[in-house]
Structure 1
Amino acid sequence: MAKKAELENVPDVLGQFNALKQKHPDAMLLFRKGDFYEMYREDAVKAATVLAITQTSRTFPGEKEPVKFASFPYHALDVYLPKLIRSGQRVAICDQLETPKLKKEEQTKQKTG
């Protein structure tokens, strides 16, 4: 379990994506965030094409341009993962490290949404 001081320095989801993508540039990264697996940037474009899911763009703090984004429900992983692998993709499934800020944002969404 990560210590509180360590979690305060954890980057947001896009920062985590960028760091992992540098280490594993040939892998498509699927980030579990709540009830969804999310893909960003070029991974979102590839996933949208292979899986026939919607690709959109989303703004993130600190990013000048909207970031390409795609997602699917976590319970569809058993359907979508084999499709990605059969298409030749190397896939890494990632659990996002949750910072206190992200946890608070998620709780706020649940209360208002």
Structure 2
Amino acid sequence: MSRHTTPSADRAENAARDSASDVLVPSRRQYLDLKAQHPDAILLYRLGDFYETFDEDARMLARDARIALTSRSFGRSGRAPMAGIPHHALNHYLGRLLAAGHTVAIAEQMTPPGRGLVERAVTRVLSPGTVSDPALLPAGENRYLAAVGRRGDCWG
């Protein structure tokens, strides 16, 4: 699958991240760290009752899910493009993103909200070729899965 950004845009984003790393708020640093683990996916980052995404992912989410693109301040590290969806509408918007050919990584809150940074981790990565949830599959379309195994000289 092709990258969502150009190499020069990636270099610029990485340079901006590196130069601003000392001023990044913890949630922004956490988002960028998770995004670095899934560079070819749109990262949906759970923040309370919403899944939010930033930067180029926000632009793609806004365009392909047909939602508003806005921005969010991250203190001294500046503003970033942002788009978000309500958590209860996740499957609806996942369907749109998968239909547009995107891979999506979903980062959930792993600890309850409280003081300090909430721990988050990517719990699912979905792509048009790997989705198996009937709620996300287009009605009337077949999805085929093949598996090949080898034991010694035998294939099956």
Structure 1: runs of 5+ lacking an equivalent: 1-10, 104-113
**For 1:1-113, what aligned pairs fall within 5 Å after superposition?**
12-63=26-77, 65-96=78-109, 100-102=115-117
% identical aligned pairs: 41
Instruction: Give the RMSD, CA atoms, in angstroms.
Output: 1.9
Provide the C-alpha distance between the structure 2 equivalents of 1:83 and 1:45, rounded to a whole number of angstroms.
14
Structure 2: runs of 5+ lacking an equivalent: 1-24, 119-156
The amino acid of 1:100's aligned partner reads: R
Q: Which structure has the bigger radius of gyration?
A: 2
Q: Which has the higher contact order (CA 8 A, sep 6+)?
A: 1
More helix by share: 1
C-alpha deviation, 1:102, in angstroms? 4.7
Could you state the TM-score of these two structures normalised by the residue count of structure 1? 0.72
Instruction: Quote the residue 1:4 is aligned against.
Output: none
The amino acid of 1:72's aligned partner reads: I
The amino acid of 2:37's aligned partner reads: K
- Which SS does the other structure have where 1:43 is aligned? helix
User: Which 4+ stretches in 1 moved above 3 angstroms?
Assistant: 96-99
Q: 1:99 to 1:24 in 2, by over 3 A?
A: farther
The amino acid of 2:48's aligned partner reads: G
Provide the C-alpha distance between the structure 1 equivalents of 2:46 and 2:67, rounded to a whole number of angstroms.
17
The amino acid of 1:88's aligned partner reads: G
C-alpha deviation, 1:69, in angstroms? 0.5
- Which SS does the other structure have where 2:74 is aligned? coil
